């Protein structure tokens, strides 16, 4: 069912103009699958295919992320995405990532509790997808808002879908924009209301 | 060597043409983004001193990581050197076309043949195809293949993107007649 898996790992040790950083690794794993609704027109009940396909894909993706990043314990942030081939509906991608058959499997595999941030798109093979990730147990942790870019040169074909799970071992390199606590200490919101 | 980041890509192809690929076809690519060691120096006539310094560092780093990412013996391999827009093509060529770079990979892969290469000057995010051939006999047609990669934010104008690629077998569903049958 999975035609191809692509795992990309970025290990960042310096930022342009700013010099060395604490090393951080972020990764995305992408699975290329046949769109199970291809050629069937409008299918009203998407759940049977979701239940059959999404858990297996989520397991394959999280296994690769854990292996690439040093296990679930080393992962601090996660995200997900779907890229639908040009003959499919956006709803096909949404169906496969926005259900417990995908999200709960990811949370369980990566020891997370947060809602999982996502992106989706439709495009030709080779479309680059920017996948957001945020903290796996405290989604509002500002230092961990970041993205991982992934691209599979030969996918999705028009009747395929690329499903992605992404993760990071830490926050952004050189994160230093504070958080909500430091904001309220220095900013009076009433000064900025119209 | 001033390293900014290392990017590792692993592709696993399970089906091709609708048929299972067994064993799974695997390709590993590891790319190092470094500051161009000749950046800002104008035309440097003798590239030798910095080749001697930097090429072995890159060769050692990339060979070990590529074999680790592949997770088994390599049957085909290749290399890449992409130069940021402020550099010369000769800068990447200098670092990859030397035994001081390639022999780390040959040793790690038990390989003997020349490493096929892609070299170009390109902006950050440029897509490039790394050619690969068999590690001990470059006439083995089943193993001629290439893999496409891109790093969204590299190489910056003053950077080089240097990489290695290895495959665990020939093309998925390879079934062409060997070269010898046409001679």
**Domains in chain B, CATH or no CATH each:** 3-182 (3.30.1330.110)
Structure token digits, residue B44 = 């440097």
A2-192: which CATH topology?
Answer: 60s Ribosomal Protein L30; Chain: A; (3.30.1330)
Contact between chains at B14 and A7 (C-beta distance less than 8 A): no
The pLDDT assigned to B10 comes to 98
CA B135, CA B138: separation in Å to the nearest integer? Answer: 7
What's the DSSP call for residue A116? P
CB proximity B86 to A under 8 Å: no
pLDDT of residue A189: 67
Q: Which of B7, B11, B64, B126 to mutate to test the interface with A (most CBs of A within 10 A)?
A: B11
CB contact under 8 A, A11 and B6: yes
Q: What are the Cα distances from residue A113, in Å, to A65, A116, A135, A186?
A: 17, 9, 9, 31
**What distance in Å separates the CA atoms of residue A25 and residue B46, rounded to the nearest whole number?**
37
Confidence of residue A180 (pLDDT cuts 50, 70, 90): confident
* Residue from B87, B147, B155, B148 nearest B125 by CA: B155
Residue A143 neighbours by CB under 8 Å, 6+ apart: A171, A172, A175, A177, A179
Contact call for residues A53 and A136 (beta carbons, < 8 A): no
What's the pLDDT score for residue B20? 97
- Tell me what pLDDT residue A192 has: 74
**pLDDT value at A190 more than 80:** no
Please compute the mean of the pLDDT values over residues A35-62 and round it to a whole number. Answer: 98
Residue B75, both tokens: 């049957």
Least confident range of A12-16, A186-190, B13-17, B101-105: A186-190
Taking chain A, what is the end-to-end CA distance rounded to the nearest angstrom? 54
C-alpha distances out from residue A132 to A81, A149, B43, Å? 8, 9, 42
Give, to the nearest 10 degrees, the angle between helix B48-70 and helix B99-109: 20
Tell whether the model's pLDDT for residue A182 goes beyond 90: no
pLDDT for B156-182, tens place per residue? 999 999 999 999 999 999 999 998 899
Predicted confidence at residue B64, as pLDDT, reads 98
Q: Kindly list the residues from chain A whose CB atom is less than 8 angstroms away from the CB atom of residue B8.
A: 7-9, 11, 68
- Please say whether the beta carbons of A189 and A159 come within 8 A: no
Q: Determine, for residues B4 and A151 on separate chains, whether the beta-carbon distance falls below 8 Å.
A: no
Whether residue A174 lies within 8 A of chain B, CB to CB, comes out as no
- Give me A186's structure tokens: 């220095």
Q: Residue B83, SS3?
A: strand
The average pLDDT across B44-53 equals 98
Residue A132 near residue A191 (C-beta atoms within 8 A): no
Taking each continuous run of H as one helix and of E as one strand, the counts in chain A are 4, 7
Domain boundaries, chain A: 2-192
A34 touches chain B (CB under 8 A): no
First-to-final CA distance of chain B? 47
Strands (E), B3-144: 3-16, 19-35, 76-83, 117-121, 128-134
Supply the pLDDT for residue A3: 98
| pLDDT tens-digit readout, A86-118 | 999 999 999 999 999 999 999 999 999 999 999
Give the gap in angstroms from C-alpha B116 to the nearest C-alpha of chain A: 21
Written as six digits, the tokens of B29 are 């690519």
Query: Mean pLDDT across the stretch B28-46?
Result: 98
pLDDT over 70, % of chain A: 99
Tell me what pLDDT residue A185 has: 76
Work out the angle between the directed axes of helices A47-69 and A100-110 (0-180°, nearest 10).
20
Task: Name every chain B residue with its beta carbon within 8 A of the beta carbon of A11.
Answer: 5-8
Banded model confidence at residue A191, pLDDT cuts 50, 70, 90: confident
Do the interacting molecules here have an ipTM over 0.95? no
Assigned token pair, A2? 């999975």
The pLDDT value given to residue A16? 95
* pTM of this structure: 0.95
CA distance A166 to chain B (A): 14
pLDDT score recorded for residue A1: 86
Mean predicted confidence (pLDDT) in B24-36: 98
Q: How many CB pairs under 8 A join A and B?
A: 60
Residue range B66-124, pLDDT digits in tens:
999 999 999 999 999 999 999 999 999 999 999 999 999 999 999 999 999 999 999 99
Q: From A2, which residue of chain B is nearest by alpha-carbon distance?
A: B14
């Amino acid at each position: 069912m999975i035609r191809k898996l692509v795992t990309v790992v970025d290990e960042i040790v310096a930022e342009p103009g700013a010099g060395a950083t604490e090393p951080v690794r972020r990764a995305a794993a992408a699975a290329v699958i046949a769109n199970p609704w291809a050629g069937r027109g409008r299918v009203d009940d998407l759940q049977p295919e979701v239940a059959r396909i999404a858990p297996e894909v989520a397991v394959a993706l999280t296994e690769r992320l854990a292996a690439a990043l040093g296990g679930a314990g080393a992962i601090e942030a996660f995200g997900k995405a779907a890229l639908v081939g040009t003959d499919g509906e956006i709803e096909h991608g949404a169906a496969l990532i926005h259900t417990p058959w995908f999200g709960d499997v990811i949370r369980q595999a990566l020891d997370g509790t947060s809602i999982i941030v996502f992106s989706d798109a439709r495009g030709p093979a080779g479309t680059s997808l920017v996948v957001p990730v945020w903290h796996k147990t405290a989604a509002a942790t500002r230092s961990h808002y970041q993205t991982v870019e992934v691209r599979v040169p030969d996918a999705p074909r028009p009747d395929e879908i690329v499903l992605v799970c992404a993760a990071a071992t830490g926050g952004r390199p050189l994160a230093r924009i504070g958080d909500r606590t430091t904001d309220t200490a220095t900013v009076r919101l009433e000064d900025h209301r119209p | 060597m001033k390293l900014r980041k290392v990017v590792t890509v692993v592709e696993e192809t399970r089906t091709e043409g609708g048929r299972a690929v067994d064993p799974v076809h695997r390709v590993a690519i590891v790319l190092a983004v470094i500051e161009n060691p000749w950046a800002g120096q104008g035309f440097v006539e003798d590239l030798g001193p910095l080749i001697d310094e930097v090429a072995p560092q890159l060769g050692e780093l990339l060979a070990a990581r590529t074999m680790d990412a592949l997770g088994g013996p390599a049957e085909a391999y290749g290399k890449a050197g992409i130069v940021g827009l402020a550099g010369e093509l000769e800068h990447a060529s200098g670092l990859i076309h030397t035994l001081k770079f390639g022999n780390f990979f040959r040793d790690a892969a038990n390989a003997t043949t020349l490493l096929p290469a892609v070299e170009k000057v390109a902006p950050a995010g440029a897509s490039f195809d790394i050619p690969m051939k068999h590690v001990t006999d470059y006439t083995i047609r089943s193993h001629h293949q290439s893999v496409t990669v891109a790093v969204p934010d590299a190489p910056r104008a003053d950077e080089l993107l240097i990489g290695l690629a290895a495959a665990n077998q020939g093309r998925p569903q390879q079934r062409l007649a060997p070269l010898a049958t046409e001679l």
